[in-house]
Amino acid sequence: MPQVTAEPYEFEFNPRTTALLVIDMQRDFVDPGGFGEALGNDVSLLARAVEPTRRVLAAARAAGLLVIHTREGHRADLSDCPPAKLARGRLSNGIGDPGPMGRILIRGEYGHDIVDALKPLADEPVVDKPGKGAFYATDLESMLRNRGITSLIVTGVTAEVCVPDDGSRGKRPRLRMPGAFGLHRVVLSGVL
């Protein structure tokens, strides 16, 4: 069985029951003028994750893994965006406001889409989510269960949001939510 060096132990996986989950590799997070920049992030640092993620994506496709992409974004009327999230940061140009790539974090806008270098193939599911969590208010869990997926390899520019800040950062990063569903998982640190 293929194996990945990981902590606290080696991550063994069967390609038939493993999925690559590519988290939020959207223009709004990695390109200038998007939400990432509005939050004060240096998006040039985030954009550096695109090429390593492209290599991981190519390897996963070549190995026959199921690839699932996520996108954080909201309905055009913002009915799925909590008021606290809208107010976050008291940004002059925040969620739903016009930006260089269309309305920020709005589904269907140019900025909401995945960067060209990582575009999903026609048979790769894209999970649209209204918040940070890929399992909250989405069909990701049923998508994984219905395909017999028991292990996740996780990457993406905002994957670090899923890593708890409980002292394990830099030691043993882990994802909380997939474990609650009984999934084995590993976070790829070299591409974050």
Distance of CA 137 to the CA centre of its chain: 15
For residue range 20-78, list pLDDT tens digits in order: 999 999 999 999 988 888 888 899 888 888 999 999 999 999 999 999 999 999 999 99
For residue range 118-152, list pLDDT tens digits in order: 999 999 999 999 988 888 889 999 999 999 999 88
For residue range 73-125, list pLDDT tens digits in order: 999 999 999 998 888 767 888 899 999 999 999 999 999 999 999 999 999 99
Catalytic residue (one of 28, 31, 81, 162): 162
Q: Please give the backbone phi and psi of residue 2, each rounded to the nearest 5 degrees, phi first.
A: -60, 150
Residue that the structure tokens 């997070």 belong to: 29
CB 118, CB 57: distance < 8 Å: yes
Please tell me the predicted confidence (pLDDT) of residue 166: 41
Q: Is 162 a catalytic residue?
A: yes
**How many angstroms separate the CA atoms of 188 and 153, rounded?**
7
Please tell me the predicted confidence (pLDDT) of residue 173: 41
DSSP 42: -
Residue that the structure tokens 């080696």 belong to: 10
Catalytic residue (one of 24, 28, 113, 128): 24
Tokens of 161: 């949001």
**How many angstroms separate the CA atoms of 113 and 4, rounded?**
30
Please tell me the predicted confidence (pLDDT) of residue 31: 93
Tokens of 13: 């996986």
Please tell me the predicted confidence (pLDDT) of residue 192: 52
125 Cβ contact list (under 8 Å, min separation 6): 68, 69, 143
**How many angstroms separate the CA atoms of 60 and 67, rounded?**
7
Q: Is 166 a catalytic residue?
A: no
Distance of CA 34 to the CA centre of its chain: 16
Q: Is 81 a catalytic residue?
A: no
